[in-house]
Structure 1
Amino acid sequence: MMRYIIIVDWHGEACLNLGMSILTQSLSRRCFLERLSGLGVVLTGGPLLAQRAIGQSAEATPNGPVVLFPGPWQFQLPKGGIIIVSDQQLEDLTDPDKEVDLSLSSAPNRTTLRRICEQQQAAGARTVILAFDEFWSQYRPGQGGKPRELTPDTEAYIQRIAKISETMKRYGLGLELSLLSPLEIGPGYVKQTGESGRWVQFREGWRDPNTGKFTVSLWEHLRWTNNKGTIELQRTDISVFAFRERRIGRTSFYVVPPNEISELRQPIEVEVAEPKNAKYRRLTVRGSGDIEVGPKDRVMVLVSYSVPEMDYFSPFAFPFLEDLVKRYHAAGVPLNGLYADEMHIQQDWGYADHHEEGQFALRYVTPHMAAKFAELYGPGYADFDPWLVYFIYGQHGFLPDLQAKLPAQHVLGDRPEDVQQTYLLRRRYYELLHNTVVELFAKAKRSAEKLYGHELEARAHATWAQSPTIDFWNVRNQAMPPRQYEYTPDFLWSNTVQQAASACSDYFKWNEFLTGGGNDHAEGGWSDRNYYGLALACSTGSLNRVPNAYAAAWGMPAEVHSRHRALENAFGCSPDPAFAAVFDYQHREVPVLMLYPTSLVAVEERFGSWMVQYGYCNYVTPSKLLEHGRIVDGAVDLIGRRYGTLAVLFEPLPPPGLLEFMEKFVASGGKLIWSGPPPRYDLAGADVLGQWQRLFGIKALQFAHEGLVVAGAQVEFDGALRGVEPQTILTDFLVDLVYPVEPETSAETVARIGGRTVGVLKPAKNGGAVTFLGFRPRDDQAASLGSETRAWFEVLRRLGAYGGDDDPSVVSRTSPWLATRFPNGALAVAAHYRRHIESWPGGFHRNAQQDAEILKANPLPPDTLDLRGLKLSGHTIEYCGNLIMALRLDENGQLAAFAGHNCHRVIVDGEEHAFADRNLPFIAWAPVIASRRVQRGAVMELWVQGEGQVAVPIRGGLEHGRLMLAGAKPGHAAGEVPAVIDKAVLRFEAGPGKARGHMYLVQT
């Protein structure tokens, strides 16, 4: 008898059919197995939920599906998967009866392609993922550090996939391939076009201005490894540029005039140390002479590498991708989807070992990229290499004084405007790289969909490292995760710059390629106790063509993971099926929109893509705001979601049109808050400071090149913000600089530091208002520093962003419960998980005994929901249960949908809704929405665990129906169970052999 593995989540839904392989239904490559332990039980011997009710015949069962899976509901469909870790495994799979080791843990898993196909066919799957992933080579022999020869852009790979496809098509299965992924396109592209990617590495050093002698050492890169295996870099050139620098006062800015950067022409001497590992070796570059360039006492050594990847700016790039897909199509490969985990250009998995004197010193620059930059911004950029001087950061270790410790930057000139122009240069570089890569692959995806005649699902996320998750604090021998909620003096460096240089830091741009999207912020043991990753998933998901994203978590005890999963459900982030049904598979809604700080890494690369980790808003990049945003009745409308308050976190380089958009928003009655530095230029290079000052009621700036250092000082609030607790400025970092101003007489001072005005509020017509906060408002519900800070929340609340005390965000910050509201009117309440300090190792696979001991010493907070008269969104709720509860009322105030643990009733607005005669471990129901319905199909979905008499209210006048167990195939019914409909109530008995698990109420 064939053995299946069915993963049953904790409310009884058969959601993952592994078929002795894997499934990545809604999760990232690394987190889906971690989720299994948190979701439920592994069962063998056949699908539990496909059992027929006693006494029912197969003839009584509908032949076809009783529900459909449109839009995000498609994420509930089973999908098998085969993850390979070597070329040999791909070769072996061409023989459908040859056993292959597909282990994903220490437990061995040897199977064949035919068995996988049989199992997936039985489970009703249409698609099987087949992809290479280096991560899993820790459990079985992989490439052994050798580069792959069989990559998806080679004819040999296509031939093998075609042969594998022949077997799969016999079972009605198609493939999801890691095909249109930058990491997968390399050897074949290089062979066909003669082009490759080019990365450059820069190192600053001292040069004797009299003799021209210099000696500079740096780490030469030999190999990089990422989730698509190992690649070898080839050093192709070393060039040297001489320049002079001059410090601006006592700042960290050093002026380097662009016209004084000179390339040295004398031959250089290169010394290579013998490598002790295969990844890098020490390279020393020496030179002398070139006295004619003048007394220039600095050099930038630039090492160029040829990397086996695309030149994404080449005119050959798109034709190659288009032709590649045509070759798969011609070979008869049934392509159903695009495996899209970690959609970045070539880089190495190492988080912090590509540095020169603490700086990530690598950038992607090809001649075609330089030509495009010159076309956009001026012919002076045609040779982009000298401009990399302005990307060097903190490489002054050769200086004889304390300047060697400064986070030094090279800038274009002495004036504050010149500093801003330097930021603009770097911002344009990152934006051009990011946009070009995303748009190239999005265009190729659209072309592939046209060729194949259907949508190609591409469900995953862009980056392999998140900020703050993979940022670094100098915690010495202490655990890092508890520190990763706030910028504190022990903060060292953010991984964002590596992601930005790899074209994957902008989740919102990658939305143009990905289906649904998502993030892995809560990975490696960090619990995201400020709910930042959850809010970010809601933000990208709500803008996606398929509007739902995941917020995955792994690297924590199963009990902790279950708490995070409850929060994912409460936010509507790839929710479990029962909660998806209550919410109509939508994300929660909030009235506050914050601009994602895309310019931060361009201003100072040490810092991440966050200024605050705030979970009670949605985020959007300025460019996506302008692309999708409309102003409607005093609110920003983003694809149907409305926000009455717009807040800026850090945006000194707004895109053209942003300030005009803000002016119209405020004039229509919207509330606008700008925190951090004012802008001097927009991304087009236009001077916008005057326009910004007029909008915010600022007469004059009281700072020069940068904000002021006031570490340890307190922000005191006044006026409209009086009552907000004073906030301490923690550091002297860029993120904590303050920007004092002189307000116009029409504006009100609302915040001061040491007598200086750093907060200004200016009323506008139609009830609108603009507020400038010249500092970083902090907010940390996790209380990571020992006490909670809530400046952003209190500021927003006092400015009227959240409405009344029963607003879900207000309830969440003033009670033990997380509360959310959904566009269809559903409400959810979950036990907060915000103060349980991370104390566990962050490994992927868990040691259950070790985790139990950890949680014994560091107990979980209670998950009890004891709601007594909870005021929420105009309703009063009485309820007792555990973990999470969700409900939805119909237009008459009657209970239309519900999901909850260990409960039997809920009282809403004084009306009791008793749905069981005793507490059930889990119960849920919801009407099937119109887009999912089929003729004579299901009108309601239900989930039940436990034993007892159940009475579920039915709306819509239904008098007859059949209660049926969900079948093994998605959307199909199995056997009928006894039930009656009496006076608009569906009554049945739950228990073994009776009503249980996932069920459908089918029309008759």
Structure 2
Amino acid sequence: MPENLYRAELLTYPGAWAFQLPRAGIILVTDQELRDLEDPDKQINLSLGHEPRMESLRQVCERAKAQGCRTLILAFDHFSASTVPAWGTRCSLYPDKPEYIQRIAGISKFAQQYGLGLELSLLNPLEIGPGYQQETGESGKWMHYRKGLRDPETGAFSVQLWRQTRWAANKGAVNIESDSVRVFAFRERRVGGTSYRAVNPDEIIEISDSAQVELLGDKREGMERVRVYGTGHPELGKLNRVLVVQVYRVPEMDYMSDKAFPYLERLIDRYADAGVKLNALYSDEAHIQQDWSYFGHHDHGQFAMRYVSDGFAKKFAGKYGDQYKDFAKYLVYFCYGQEDFAHDLSATEPVMHVFGDSPEEIRKTALFRSWYYRLLQDEVVDLFVKAKKHAEKRMGFKLEARAHATWAESPTIDMWRVGEENLPKNQYEYTSNFVWSNTVHQAAAACSDYFRWGDFLTGNGNDHAEGGWLDRDYYAQALACSTGLLNKVPYSYAAHWGMPNETSQRRTNINNAFGTAGSPLFGMVEDMSHREVEVLMLYPFDLVAVEERFGSWMTQYGYADMMTQNKVVECGQVKDGALILGGRRYTTLAATFEPFPKPELLEMMKTLAEQGGKVIWSGPPPVIDNNGNHILQAWQDMFGVDYSPSRNEGLMAPGRQVAFEGILEKVPSQVILTDLLVDHIYPVSPREGSQVVAGAQNHILGVHRVLPSNGSFTFLGFRPRDDQSASLGYETRTWFEVFNSLGSYPGTGKSGEVNDNTEYLSRTTDYLFCRFPNGTVAVAKHFFNYEEGWPGGFARNPEEDKKILESRPLPPDEIHLKDQVVNGHKVTFDGTSAMAFRRDSAGNLIAFAGSNCNEITFDGKTVQFADQKLPQLAWAPVPENRQIPNGARVQLMVYGTGRIRIPAESLSSPMDAFVEGPTPGSRGETVPSVLEDGKIVIDITPSIQGRWIYLVNRKVN
């Protein structure tokens, strides 16, 4: 499918470069606003803030055309609706309703007169439902489960729960209908030494015919309290527990139905046949229906709802066994901590239910939950990927869908009990006051796997640093570099909001260094790509399946890329001692929590080590693979250890200290913080030829095995901590020191015995250093020791923020490098914020971005590019895939005024300079320039500062 390429007069905008193109936007908050747009001259309030902004469709389109926009965003956004008086008044106009299509067609026809295509929220699960329900007779189904007591003699039971009545998400509020109530009787037995209760699935018996429902009159926003009760079935004898399942009909699709894709296909055809021109798909928070409220849907502290449509149950049973056809009764194995009826301390314990009491049966129960989350995620993504491809076929080109899938993130929206303290500054470590993660909410809504959603989304990205959280461990930047890795447009963003503007700029400096969609000035130097690194860590997708309290992170570590094991197996290959993934080479692969590995993953690890690479496994040794088959023996043989699995996943060791020896002897000792699952330890016995490298008390927790290839396997039977933010008052750096001791961050060898590796320097100096595939080196002053302490709202109060910053001044962001070795270079530089430079094979400076500077010295060569320090300037050659005949060869921008001198050694012919015209990439007025001592000299005047300037080969008469 061809790209919808924007071709300007001087250059093109392929791939990620298209993200720099301006686009107009109309964000709707009511049905009436869409109806009002039918009159292109009627003005409506388009403000997303508290001050009104009245404009008509015609005015928006005229301005868009003048700016060179080719896309008009038209979407409903419930988040924006909260800032205007008509909050939440979307009632009937959804993309799969005829009236909506008719009105959109009229708007599209009008916009096309101005050369505009639409960006519609068309293929978003939140928007497709009412029409689907009406046309197919199907809907989504959610099941809400609650455990209770049953008298085995009389059969009497009584269970209360919060019945859902209304949910609100990014596309508006929807009403939830009660479909039915089902009740199952069962019995359980305690599994000694654990918080597990064994339940035989064959002994779970439905007794729904005895159930009655009573409304208790207690109504809250979007829910009401109900009691489900009954008596009878004394013949069931010892079944002394019940599982109540409240089934909801939700106005969304049955995503696994045979009718789902044909419906989406017809829907797209209706738009295309109506003459709607699509340029993009507005895809912000593209998850299935759920409510925004983070922790407001919990029964006795558990998020106790799962999507189980008829199509899902059929699909799950077809894949994993006929016993799952009636999925409702298996929801008992999702129950967590619902023991409020207990007469002992177990009432507050995280009690879970398992298939049996053997170590294997317990793990197979967690695997069952993993299957649920994986199938739900995969089926939803695959459906919309398929629909997107059909839409692209109808439009004739690729459709951009740039956004992220979740409405909440882990750890950002995870909950710690902090009293009156600021929450964000406490969200960097699993400590004893950790309460609950939002990951299970996201997993149930089919959006917890950022990497899988990358198959649909363009570029991908995350909003982790939202609501005032600064992400001082750079976890979100590392995640963005990772989700961009395999995307068809490999350039993700690490967005942020909810902080003072000055603080926001400091985080942008870090984005600029990482290459995570910061300033376009840095993007052009770095070729719109992410930094590269030698270490890949496996993203712990299955942590929530083992215990749903926990998030999608084990350690927030910013100096490695991340990937799910599924994507590693699907897209990776081992070659010449490295794992090749997305065109990058990783010589170290580390597992952080991988209880159900694919056999192919272990085979890749084995091959990597045999070819000289490094493999590290932390956390629980795997007993079974992703299909439930035995895999422990193969794992033990690889890592040179023996492990005896118990019914618990590891041992509790709160307060114990892990000490290191052997090849890891320089790693500082580490304290095990808590008794939580994430901090469990896994003692092993080393086999002959394996070296002990870590232990706690009498337990061996670390073993290192070297292969003849000099590759290695390292097992760490605990959670290595790493927190550069020092959120607990001290820094921990176990992961970094382990990687460094194993040689995962090698220098280039061009700086003698000094390690000039960018990640090594980032953890041993005051600066963040990054390197890029095109040879660029970037640097920013670290910003990890400034604690959060401000309201996290989206709209800012400048006066309030000013007072906050006056009371807590920001640290300096000055950069002072003196003969700093980095990635094979020796650099001297003075400036602020962030800096990036690139040289060609001849050693000439060909690209640069920096602030408050006028020169740089690298490899003994000083380049003065301005007569005085300028607030900001950048230049870079136009890459070949952007060039057109007689077009731009160099692109630059300067903030401030004065004379600049752009090195011209690499330019093959004389150049003329032009400022950009009114539209992107257009030729504006000529900028006077001269070639002087191998440099192009330009005087930057107030009229051209802050505008793109293009250098074009001079025409020869």
Name the TM-score class by shorter chain: over 0.9
Residues 1:873 and 2:817 are matched in the alignment: no
| 1:6-155 paired onto structure 2 within 5 Å | 65-142=9-86, 145=88, 148-155=91-98
TM-score, length-normalised on structure 2?
0.97
Residues 1:405 and 2:355 are matched in the alignment: no
Give CA deviations for 1:639-659 in whole Å, capped at 9, x if unaligned.
Answer: 210100000000001124111
Residue of structure 2 equivalent to 1:228: 171
Secondary structure class of the residue paired with 1:920: coil
Give CA deviations for 1:202-236 in whole Å, capped at 9, x if unaligned.
Answer: 00111112211111100000000011001001001
Residue of structure 2 equivalent to 1:774: 717
From 820, 829, 842, the equivalent of 2:792 is 842
From 962, 979, 982, the equivalent of 2:929 is 979
Contact 2:359–2:645 under 8 Å retained in 1: no
From 923, 935, 949, the equivalent of 2:873 is 923
Equivalent-residue separation in structure 2 for 1:215 and 1:274 (angstroms): 16
Higher alpha-carbon deviation: 208-217 or 809-818: 208-217
Give CA deviations for 1:333-376 in whole Å, capped at 9, x if unaligned.
Answer: 01111000001000000000110100000000012211111111
Residue of structure 2 equivalent to 1:733: 676
| 1:780-859 paired onto structure 2 within 5 Å | 780-804=723-747, 805-859=755-809
Equivalent-residue separation in structure 2 for 1:138 and 1:938 (angstroms): 45
Residue of structure 2 equivalent to 1:24: none
Equivalent-residue separation in structure 2 for 1:235 and 1:265 (angstroms): 15
Q: Measured at CA, do residues 441 and 692 of structure 1 come closer, stay the same or move farther in structure 2, by a change above 3 Å? A: same
From 341, 355, 366, the equivalent of 2:284 is 341
Give CA deviations for 1:874-907 in whole Å, capped at 9, x if unaligned.
Answer: 1111000001010001101121111110001111
| 1:356-371 paired onto structure 2 within 5 Å | 356-371=299-314
Contact 1:667–1:764 under 8 Å retained in 2: yes
Contact 1:701–1:742 under 8 Å retained in 2: no
Equivalent-residue separation in structure 1 for 2:944 and 2:557 (angstroms): 45
Secondary structure class of the residue paired with 2:12: coil
Residue of structure 1 equivalent to 2:911: 961
Give CA deviations for 1:426-446 in whole Å, capped at 9, x if unaligned.
Answer: 000000000000000000001
Residues 1:332 and 2:266 are matched in the alignment: no
Equivalent-residue separation in structure 1 for 2:598 and 2:375 (angstroms): 13
How far residue 145 of structure 1 moved from its aligned partner, in angstroms, is 4.4
Residues 1:587 and 2:537 are matched in the alignment: no
Letter in 2 for 1:82: I
Contact 1:575–1:585 under 8 Å retained in 2: no
From 899, 903, 907, the equivalent of 2:857 is 907
Give CA deviations for 1:714-765 in whole Å, capped at 9, x if unaligned.
Answer: 0000111001110000010000000001110111010001021000100013
Equivalent-residue separation in structure 2 for 1:649 and 1:999 (angstroms): 47
Equivalent-residue separation in structure 2 for 1:343 and 1:855 (angstroms): 36
Equivalent-residue separation in structure 2 for 1:237 and 1:345 (angstroms): 21
Equivalent-residue separation in structure 1 for 2:220 and 2:691 (angstroms): 62
How far residue 287 of structure 1 moved from its aligned partner, in angstroms, is 0.9
Letter in 2 for 1:653: F
How far residue 136 of structure 1 moved from its aligned partner, in angstroms, is 1.3
Letter in 2 for 1:78: P
From 472, 486, 506, the equivalent of 2:449 is 506
Residue of structure 2 equivalent to 1:13: none
Secondary structure class of the residue paired with 1:543: coil
Residue of structure 2 equivalent to 1:637: 580
Contact 1:522–1:528 under 8 Å retained in 2: yes
Secondary structure class of the residue paired with 2:847: strand
Equivalent-residue separation in structure 2 for 1:482 and 1:757 (angstroms): 34
Pairs aligned (count): 941
Equivalent-residue separation in structure 1 for 2:208 and 2:55 (angstroms): 61
From 253, 265, 268, the equivalent of 2:211 is 268
Residue of structure 2 equivalent to 1:245: 188
Residue of structure 1 equivalent to 2:621: 678
TM-score, length-normalised on structure 1?
0.93
Contact 1:423–1:603 under 8 Å retained in 2: yes
Equivalent-residue separation in structure 2 for 1:251 and 1:702 (angstroms): 14
Q: Measured at CA, do residues 96 and 275 of structure 1 come closer, stay the same or move farther in structure 2, by a change above 3 Å? A: farther
How far residue 993 of structure 1 moved from its aligned partner, in angstroms, is 4.2
Equivalent-residue separation in structure 2 for 1:621 and 1:955 (angstroms): 45
Higher alpha-carbon deviation: 206-215 or 126-135: 206-215
From 802, 813, 826, the equivalent of 1:863 is 813
Give CA deviations for 1:359-410 in whole Å, capped at 9, x if unaligned.
Answer: 0000000122111111111111111111111000000011001011110100
Gaps of 5+ in 1: 1-62
Equivalent-residue separation in structure 1 for 2:626 and 2:944 (angstroms): 64
Q: Report the RMSD for the aligned CA atoms in angstroms.
A: 1.2
Equivalent-residue separation in structure 1 for 2:884 and 2:90 (angstroms): 50
Q: Measured at CA, do residues 176 and 957 of structure 1 come closer, stay the same or move farther in structure 2, by a change above 3 Å? A: closer
Contact 1:321–1:444 under 8 Å retained in 2: yes
How far residue 910 of structure 1 moved from its aligned partner, in angstroms, is 1.5
Q: Measured at CA, do residues 828 and 925 of structure 1 come closer, stay the same or move farther in structure 2, by a change above 3 Å? A: same
Q: Measured at CA, do residues 105 and 145 of structure 1 come closer, stay the same or move farther in structure 2, by a change above 3 Å? A: closer
Residues 1:627 and 2:570 are matched in the alignment: yes
Contact 1:718–1:750 under 8 Å retained in 2: yes
Equivalent-residue separation in structure 1 for 2:945 and 2:648 (angstroms): 70
From 273, 278, 289, the equivalent of 2:232 is 289
Residues 1:378 and 2:321 are matched in the alignment: yes
Contact 1:555–1:845 under 8 Å retained in 2: yes
Letter in 1 for 2:259: F
Contact 2:8–2:920 under 8 Å retained in 1: no
Contact 1:206–1:297 under 8 Å retained in 2: yes
Higher alpha-carbon deviation: 940-949 or 539-548: 940-949
Equivalent-residue separation in structure 2 for 1:94 and 1:936 (angstroms): 43
Higher alpha-carbon deviation: 347-356 or 681-690: 681-690
From 757, 760, 763, the equivalent of 2:700 is 757
Residues 1:569 and 2:512 are matched in the alignment: yes
Contact 2:29–2:89 under 8 Å retained in 1: no
Give CA deviations for 1:562-602 in whole Å, capped at 9, x if unaligned.
Answer: 01111111111113221111111110000000000010000
Q: Measured at CA, do residues 986 and 709 of structure 1 come closer, stay the same or move farther in structure 2, by a change above 3 Å? A: same
Equivalent-residue separation in structure 2 for 1:163 and 1:987 (angstroms): 51
Contact 1:958–1:984 under 8 Å retained in 2: no
Contact 1:247–1:254 under 8 Å retained in 2: yes
Residues 1:490 and 2:433 are matched in the alignment: yes
Contact 2:81–2:88 under 8 Å retained in 1: no
How far residue 275 of structure 1 moved from its aligned partner, in angstroms, is 4.7
How far residue 983 of structure 1 moved from its aligned partner, in angstroms, is 4.2
Residue of structure 2 equivalent to 1:699: 642
Gaps of 5+ in 2: 1-6, 748-754
Letter in 1 for 2:621: P
Equivalent-residue separation in structure 1 for 2:209 and 2:894 (angstroms): 79
From 932, 936, 950, the equivalent of 2:886 is 936
Secondary structure class of the residue paired with 1:274: strand
Structure 1 runs (4+) greater than 6 angstroms displaced: none
Contact 2:29–2:88 under 8 Å retained in 1: no
Residues 1:652 and 2:602 are matched in the alignment: no
Equivalent-residue separation in structure 1 for 2:708 and 2:24 (angstroms): 57
Secondary structure class of the residue paired with 1:552: strand
Equivalent-residue separation in structure 2 for 1:510 and 1:702 (angstroms): 34
How far residue 929 of structure 1 moved from its aligned partner, in angstroms, is 0.6
How far residue 998 of structure 1 moved from its aligned partner, in angstroms, is 2.0
Letter in 1 for 2:793: G
Give CA deviations for 1:226-254 in whole Å, capped at 9, x if unaligned.
Answer: 11001001001111111111111121111
Letter in 1 for 2:877: P
